[in-house]
Every structure is written in structure tokens, then in C-alpha cells.
């Protein structure tokens, strides 16, 4: 088992937490079996996740691929969790939380599934409980407001050497609806999207709704939505929801906890008041949260990210959606093409036809692949890679280059506040205010 932290380049994308740094980080887990086959997994990078992966190594090395269930069960046993938490605290690294635990387990599980698929000559999608249902899945064009990188002294890429179109525009400032529509046009030309999501929580709600309506005007046949990351108050969310009702397929986390009420309670009120379906990656991120959210009828689309649920658990969520009349979706963050393959197999195994277009940030990292033949997005669909396992082969030269970039970083943990300090003096994160509303 090899644990490889890696880094790649990003644009100055805005969100409620600030501005994406010029570099993002991930962790690659590489497993090699006794036959010489390689399995890989990818997950978000944090110091505590790296430490957990190192501590899990004795449970993985020497285990049998035919006993994958038993191996993974050891990771999730209460004794193992308690031991990892205790040891993490003893050595004074950042406090372990359930999210980091699942991040670590998800990378290992994906790599084991990749190896097992090669052992049985089956795609990972066929190893998930539902089995492969399709060869491609719809994905959406994830759009952002982009700040002007020239206002910083950070080393953002310029895109000056790129041809006109998506690969140049993704590096340029886009702070109004006209610029965001231009981004969408370029993304359609490059990837053929029929669905879009605007990352909100950046400007005043009125501005973001105006951008959604501009996208709908330009692409009247497209499905367009916005994710304010719960920065709207319930009152605002209901007002904007009524304005967008019948125009958008759903809203993602339009409001959150306020005035003593939980995010699950306010989202339930929002649904009753507007009739607009709700997607979330904020208030139903584990089994207990999902249970409470469904009891309150607060959500319609749980966005089960395989990096935070694991691939097999996310597939179970998809099965529950199919059985209970919910819609399957998937959350995303900046990632390399290993994660893109994980998402492709997850979507390919989701049962039924109640599936919304999956999120992916890959369009912002396209060209930085760590595999020889990365999965492709064509005509708005992510195609399942051919071949057994995840269907990908690492390009080790590129992996080592990404690892060297990670090692060169002075601060290896994500900090979206850093770039915002160049835009707004003394900027601080506020969960209830869009990042530019100060």
C-alpha cells in the first residue's frame, strides 16, 4: 500500500468559503497485489487523512482480495475508530472527525475494488450491489464566479497559451451573468452539457438568481440550478424559490440552520412553501443525518459523494433512492481523473431512472490527468472507461510530478480564505453570508 499526496492547479473560483487557491491537493492510494496488478483510489487531502491511511496500512497489507468485505469491516469497526481517534490525538495532528475517517476508507475501498475487478475481469460497476446499469452517465457543467487572479500575488495559471474557448476562459475573471453565460457557452462547445449548476454563496441572492435566469434565457432547453451553500435565510430562500419555481429542477441547500432551527427543519419548510425539490450535500452526509432528513421530508436528492460515503455506501444510497422515490445525485470537489472514474462507476451502477446529472469539477482540471487514458465527457455524458476494475492506468511520471508539486507547497491544507484577503481586507468566513457580501 502506497499513499501519495498530490497537487494540481486551479482557478480563482469563488464559493462561500472564499476563493480556491491556485493549487489543490488530493491523496492517491496505490495497492499492488501478489500478481503484480495495481489498484488505485483518490480522496481529498488533509493531514489527518494521511495519518489515518498510514495507520490503516497494517490492516490492508497482507489481506486477501477475496475477503474484501472482512477487510473493510475492520476499518469501520468501533474498536478501530476508537483506536484511530485516540492515536491521532496522542501524536498531536489535527483532530480526526468522521469526514476524514470516511475519506481515508473511501480511497482504500476504491483501490480494493479496482484490484478485485481486475481479478474477476469485471468493471467496478458490476461489483457494486446493483451491478452495471448503463455505460455512460449524465454530468453537469459546474459553473463558478471567477475572481480576477491579477489582483493577487498568487501563482494562478493564466491560460494565455491556450486557444480561445473553455481552456482559456476558465482562467479569466467572470463576475457577472454575461461572463458566466460565456463560460457556459464555452463548456457546451467543449463538453456538450445539457445541465448546469452555478456555485452560489458568493454574491447577493438577487444577483445569483439573475445569473440563473440569464443561463436559462441563453439555454432554454437546459436544466439550470444554483447552490447557495445555505447562505440564504429561510425568508430569502422562499422568496427566491418562488421566483425560480417551475424554472429549475431543484435547488441545492438554499438555506440552513437559523434561529434555533436545524438545516433539516428549514429545508423542510422551504419545500412546503415553494414546492421546489431540494438537493443537499450539507445535512444528509451519513446514515443518521439521512434518516432525520427523510423523516422531516426535507430533501429529494441526497448528493452521495463516494469520497465521503465510500463507493459501496453511496451505491446503497442510490438503491434507497430508487426504492423510496427519491432522486440519485453526486456531490463533487476539485479532483483528478481517478475520482472521475470512481464517479463514472458509481453512476453506472445506480439503479432506476431517477438520476439527476452528477456533479464533477473535472472540467476545471481537464488536462492535468494522472492516468494514461482518462474517462471522457462527451455530449454531456461521462463515459464508463472500458476494461476491468476502474478501467484506468496510472501514468506514474505524472503522479510523481504531482507528488513533487505537493511536497513543494508551504501550506498543504486547503485555505480558501487566503485568496479572499486580496479582494476584501480582513475577510473572514461567515456561513450565513455570501463571500462577497461584507
Q: Element (H or E) spanning 16, and its range? A: none
What is the number of other CB atoms lying within 10 angstroms of the CB of residue 234? Answer: 22
CA distance 45 to 32: 21
CA distance 72 to 345: 19
Q: Element (H or E) spanning 83, and its range? A: helix 78-90
On whether 227 is known to bind a ligand per the annotation, the reply is: yes
Give yes or no: 132 in active site: no
What the block records as the C-alpha cell of 372 is 494514461
Distances (CA, A) of 175 to 14, 144, 145, 292, 378: 9, 9, 5, 37, 27
Give yes or no: 242 in active site: no
On whether 281 is known to bind a ligand per the annotation, the reply is: yes
Residue of 100, 199, 307, 345 marked catalytic: 199
Q: Tell the residue number behind the cell numbers 498543504, with chain if given.
A: 412
Instruction: Sort 36 into a burial class: Cβ within 10 Å, 0-12 / 13-18 / 19+.
Output: exposed
On whether 426 is known to bind a ligand per the annotation, the reply is: no
Residues 104/53, Cβ–Cβ less than 8 Å: yes
Distances (CA, A) of 431 to 228, 257, 281, 305, 420: 10, 10, 15, 21, 15
Residues 152/12, Cβ–Cβ less than 8 Å: yes
Q: Tell the residue number behind the cell numbers 455570501, with chain if given.
A: 434
Residue of 20, 197, 331, 335 marked catalytic: 331
Put residue 387 in one of left, alpha, beta given phi > 0 → left and psi -120 to 50 → alpha: left
What the block records as the C-alpha cell of 300 is 429529494
Supply the DSSP string of 84-118, one letter for each residue: HHHHHHHTTPSPP-HHHHHHHHHHHHHHHHHHHHH
CA distance 414 to 25: 8
- Residues that constitute the known binding site for Mg(2+): 227, 258, 281
Catalytic residues: 199, 331
- Residues that constitute the known binding site: 227, 258, 281
Amino acid at each position: 500500500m502506497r499513499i501519495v499526496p498530490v497537487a494540481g492547479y486551479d482557478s480563482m473560483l469563488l464559493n462561500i468559503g472564499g476563493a480556491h487557491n491556485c493549487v489543490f491537493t488530493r491523496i492517491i492510494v496505490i495497492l499492488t497485489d501478489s500478481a503484480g496488478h495495481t489498484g488505485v483510489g483518490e480522496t481529498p487531502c488533509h493531514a489527518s487523512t494521511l495519518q489515518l491511511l498510514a495507520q490503516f496500512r497494517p490492516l490492508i497489507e497482507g489481506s486477501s482480495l477475496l475477503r474484501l468485505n472482512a477487510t473493510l469491516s475492520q476499518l469501520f469497526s468501533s474498536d478501530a475508530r476508537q483506536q484511530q481517534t485516540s492515536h491521532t490525538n496522542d501524536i498531536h495532528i489535527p483532530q480526526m472527525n468522521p469526514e476524514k475517517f470516511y475519506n481515508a476508507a473511501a480511497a482504500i475501498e476504491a483501490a480494493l475494488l479496482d484490484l478485485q475487478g481486475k481479478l474477476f475481469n469485471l468493471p467496478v460497476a458490476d461489483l457494486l450491489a446493483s451491478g452495471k446499469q448503463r455505460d455512460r452517465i449524465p454530468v453537469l457543467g459546474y459553473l463558478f464566479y471567477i475572481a480576477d487572479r491579477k489582483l493577487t500575488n498568487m501563482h494562478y495559471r493564466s491560460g494565455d497559451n491556450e486557444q480561445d474557448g473553455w481552456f482559456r476562459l476558465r482562467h479569466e475573471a467572470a463576475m457577472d451573468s454575461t461572463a458566466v453565460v460565456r463560460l457556459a457557452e464555452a463548456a457546451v462547445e467543449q463538453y456538450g452539457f445539457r445541465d448546469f449548476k452555478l456555485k452560489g454563496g458568493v454574491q447577493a441572492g438577487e444577483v445569483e438568481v439573475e445569473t440563473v435566469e440569464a443561463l436559462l434565457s441563453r439555454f432554454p432547453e437546459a436544466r439550470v440550478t444554483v447552490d447557495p451553500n445555505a447562505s440564504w435565510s429561510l425568508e430569502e430562500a422562499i422568496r427566491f424559490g418562488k421566483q425560480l419555481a417551475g424554472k429549475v429542477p431543484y435547488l441545492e441547500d438554499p438555506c440552513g440552520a437559523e434561529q434555533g432551527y436545524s438545516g433539516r427543519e428549514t429545508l423542510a419548510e422551504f419545500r412546503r412553501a415553494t414546492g421546489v425539490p431540494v438537493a443537499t450535500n450539507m445535512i444528509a452526509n451519513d446514515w443518521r443525518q439521512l434518516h432525520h432528513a427523510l423523516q422531516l421530508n426535507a430533501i429529494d436528492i441526497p448528493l452521495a459523494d463516494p469520497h465521503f460515503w465510500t463507493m459501496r455506501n453511496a451505491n446503497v444510497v442510490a438503491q434507497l433512492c430508487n426504492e423510496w422515490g427519491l432522486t440519485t445525485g453526486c456531490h463533487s470537489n476539485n479532483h483528478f481523473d481517478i475520482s472521475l472514474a470512481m464517479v463514472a462507476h458509481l453512476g453506472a451502477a445506480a439503479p432506476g431512472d431517477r438520476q439527476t446529472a452528477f456533479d464533477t469539477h473535472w472540467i476545471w482540471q481537464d488536462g492535468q490527468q494522472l492516468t494514461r487514458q482518462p474517462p471522457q465527457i462527451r455530449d454531456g455524458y461521462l463515459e464508463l472507461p472500458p476494461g476491468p476494475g476502474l478501467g484506468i492506468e496510472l501514468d506514474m511520471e505524472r503522479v510523481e510530478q504531482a507528488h513533487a508539486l505537493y511536497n513543494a507547497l508551504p501550506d498543504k491544507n486547503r485555505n480558501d480564505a487566503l485568496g479572499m484577503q486580496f479582494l476584501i481586507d480582513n475577510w473572514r468566513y461567515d456561513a450565513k453570508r455570501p463571500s462577497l457580501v461584507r
